[in-house]
């Protein structure tokens, strides 16, 4: 151990709740989790850099048509990428247990905002999908906020309820009620894909937390038919399912056809930076939902695999941070955030490759979109904060030294 680091005792946390540690562990030397945190930031910085280049390449033509400036998307992506990096380093300095203290407030705020959106849609203030709230640069998708709210509060609940986590009435029912409330409100926006992913994150946290597996399986088996009925209730979702089931481009939608053409154009090494043909007003939302197609077309199979490898690296780093988290709350939050970002990434990639029905899921850190990038940067900052705390093995050694009045 390093002799120059002094242990600091904190008194404002109760170690009996949610496994929150008594020590200020940010001043302690980091192990694998510290390296994973640094590598995570490097991966995110690379993804953001790719996003700036690809968004400019794919969005220039659309920007001229919509905003009379080919650099419109470029400058906005640059600004939000910079703000994203600032957010990562700012949040990394915070004690992540602040989200344990405020998780209930954050969750109910998200439910309130989701309800407000549907109410505004009901009275005609919002037409179409009720997903965004706010004004100008402060406008954001409430489902992004709700996703993190579920992660924070479920991480707290499964930590607090460990003594009776398998109980049906005091543990499972309260959690499933909260999860289904959020999922239902997001699905009614309508945003079925995001609602499904939030449900998957919630169920995963419950499973890892140790809820009764029979309760979980029974609930999921009952929800699958409901979700299937909801999915086929809208004609556009049926068309997307039919496009996927067709198994070839002839039965696919226009977006999928253009995406497959773009990926095919790329070949092994791609057409080169800025040489995409599909981006020129052929592929809708080439700078957002289908940005991976532009990557595949301009950088080829090699470039596409490199991006996938970066997200795999992100996933591994997140799991390492979760494994070495100092308490259960940190472990569950790290797992939830890692799942949220990587799940959205691989769903976006799967859609671009015609492996899943078309959805409105963006590619994290790369797709154009300011507030989504900031929410994901918040998640990375929290992972960094968790990684700055010592591992459980070091905690036991330090606790012993503190009891003996020594410095480590």
pLDDT of residue 273: 86
User: 227 or 61, which is more confident?
Assistant: 227
Confidence check: pLDDT of 23 > 70: no
Report the candidate in 155, 159, 164, 200 with the shortest Cα–Cα distance to residue 182.
200
User: 153 or 273, which is more confident?
Assistant: 153
* pLDDT band at residue 246 using 50, 70 and 90 as cut-offs: low
Phi/psi for 165 (5° steps) reads: -65, -25
Confidence check: pLDDT of 397 > 50: no
| Average pLDDT for 23-39 | 62
pLDDT of residue 242: 72
Whats the size of the chain, residue-wise? Answer: 408
- CB count, 10 Å around CB of 154? 25
Burial of 152 (0-12, 13-18, 19+ CB in 10 A): buried
* Residues 6+ away with beta carbon under 8 Å from 264: none
Q: For residue range 271-326, what is the model confidence (pLDDT) as tens digits?
A: 988 888 877 667 777 888 889 999 999 999 999 999 999 999 999 999 999 999 98
pLDDT of residue 59: 83
Confidence check: pLDDT of 28 > 60: no
| Average pLDDT for 122-139 | 80
* Residues 6+ away with beta carbon under 8 Å from 31: 324, 390, 391, 394
Confidence check: pLDDT of 403 > 70: no
Tokens for 24? 């200020």
| CB distance 171 to 165 below 8 Å | yes
* pLDDT band at residue 4 using 50, 70 and 90 as cut-offs: very low
């Amino acid at each position: 151990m390093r002799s120059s680091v002094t242990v600091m005792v904190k008194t404002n946390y109760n170690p009996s709740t949610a496994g929150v540690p008594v020590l200020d562990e940010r001043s302690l030397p980091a192990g694998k989790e510290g390296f994973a945190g640094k590598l995570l930031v490097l991966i995110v910085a690379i993804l953001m850099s790719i996003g700036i280049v690809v968004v400019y390449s794919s969005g220039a033509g659309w920007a001229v048509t919509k905003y009379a400036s080919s650099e419109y998307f470029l400058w906005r992506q640059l600004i939000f990428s910079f703000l994203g990096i600032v957010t990562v380093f700012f949040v990394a300095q915070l004690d992540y247990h602040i989200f344990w203290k405020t998780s209930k407030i954050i969750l109910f705020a998200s439910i309130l905002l989701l309800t407000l959106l549907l109410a505004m849609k009901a009275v005609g203030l919002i037409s179409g999908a009720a997903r965004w709230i706010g004004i100008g640069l402060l406008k954001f998708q409430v489902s992004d906020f709700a996703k993190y709210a579920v992660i924070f509060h479920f991480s707290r609940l499964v930590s607090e309820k460990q003594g009776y986590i398998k109980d049906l009435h005091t543990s499972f029912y309260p959690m499933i009620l909260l999860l289904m409330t959020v999922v239902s409100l997001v699905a009614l926006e309508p945003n079925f894909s995001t609602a499904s992913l939030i449900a998957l994150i919630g169920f995963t946290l419950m499973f890892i937390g140790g809820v009764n597996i029979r309760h979980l399986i029974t609930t999921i088996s009952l929800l699958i038919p409901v979700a299937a009925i909801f999915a086929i209730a809208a004609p556009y979702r049926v068309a997307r399912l039919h496009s996927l089931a067709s198994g070839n481009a002839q039965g696919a939608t226009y977006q999928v056809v253009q995406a497959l053409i773009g990926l095919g154009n790329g070949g092994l090494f791609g057409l080169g930076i800025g040489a995409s043909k599909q981006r020129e007003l052929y592929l809708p939302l080439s700078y957002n939902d289908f940005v991976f197609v532009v990557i595949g077309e301009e950088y080829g199979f090699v470039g596409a695999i490199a991006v996938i490898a970066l997200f795999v690296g992100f996933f591994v780093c997140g799991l390492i941070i979760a494994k070495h988290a100092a308490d259960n709350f940190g472990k569950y939050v790290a797992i939830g955030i890692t799942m949220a970002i990587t799940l959205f990434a691989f769903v976006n990639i799967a859609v671009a490759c015609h492996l899943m029905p078309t959805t409105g899921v963006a590619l994290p850190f790369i797709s154009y979109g300011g507030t989504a990038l900031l929410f994901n940067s918040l998640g990375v900052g929290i992972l960094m904060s968790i990684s700055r705390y010592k591992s459980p093995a070091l905690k036991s050694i330090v606790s012993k030294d503190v009891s003996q009045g020594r410095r480590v």
